């Protein structure tokens, strides 16, 4: 029989040798592990957006569509959430409220659900906000758009011109 400690040492040595001999495969496997972990960490974001859009549009969109709306992969979304000190799982808050958009228009679905318009917020605070946002929220959202998706600014300015805030 094998000694468990000897077997563990042998496996570790073999793994290190393999990683040294196959750096490109090791890098790809590391990325896959990182992507899998990030996806698990942000999966609740995908599900909550999917449910929210069903409430508004009565259309059940697949998770792959929700990921396209967000405009980033799971690793970026996780890093973005961590960077802005967003803790989960709370409620998904659309900084610019969903009812301001024409959600039957596909371009509005993308803008509404883009990661720049998403943040996590305590449930009680989110419910108290309802369909409003502050001047501070507006400035933060516009700054995010300018940095990450400036082509959406024209649509947002059109909506702001129509809606009284």
- Residue with token string 């599900």: 47
In a domain, 92, yes or no: yes
What tokens appear for 52 in the block? 């929210």
Q: How many domains does the chain have?
A: 1
In a domain, 117, yes or no: yes
In a domain, 22, yes or no: no
In a domain, 125, yes or no: yes
In a domain, 158, yes or no: yes
122-131 pLDDT tens trace? 777 778 887 7
Single pTM value for the model = 0.70
What tokens appear for 64 in the block? 């792959």
Burial 101-137 (b: 16+ CB within 10 A, else e): bebeeeebbbbbbbbbbbbbbeeeebeebeeebeeeb
Interhelix angle 23-57/63-70, rounded to 10 degrees, is 100
Q: What is the mean pLDDT of the chain?
A: 81
128-156 pLDDT tens trace? 887 788 888 888 888 988 988 888 888 88
77-109 pLDDT tens trace? 888 877 765 554 467 788 888 888 888 888 888
In a domain, 102, yes or no: yes
5-34 pLDDT tens trace? 888 888 888 888 877 887 777 676 777 777
């Amino acid at each position: 029989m094998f000694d468990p400690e000897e077997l563990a040492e042998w496996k570790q040595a073999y793994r290190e040798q393999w990683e040294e001999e196959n750096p490109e495969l090791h890098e790809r496997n590391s990325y896959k592990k990182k992507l899998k972990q990030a996806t698990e960490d942000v999966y609740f974001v995908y599900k909550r957006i999917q449910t929210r859009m069903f409430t508004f549009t009565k259309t059940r969109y697949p998770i792959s569509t929700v990921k396209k709306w967000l405009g980033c992969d799971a690793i970026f979304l996780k890093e973005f959430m961590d960077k802005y000190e967003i803790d989960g799982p709370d409620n998904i808050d659309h900084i610019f409220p969903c009812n301001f958009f024409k959600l039957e228009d596909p371009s509005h679905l993308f803008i509404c659900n883009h990661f720049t318009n998403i943040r996590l917020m305590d449930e009680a605070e989110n419910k108290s906000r309802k369909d409003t946002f502050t001047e501070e929220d507006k400035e933060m959202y516009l700054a995010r758009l300018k940095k990450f998706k400036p082509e959406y600014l024209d649509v947002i300015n059109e909506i702001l011109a129509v809606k009284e805030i």
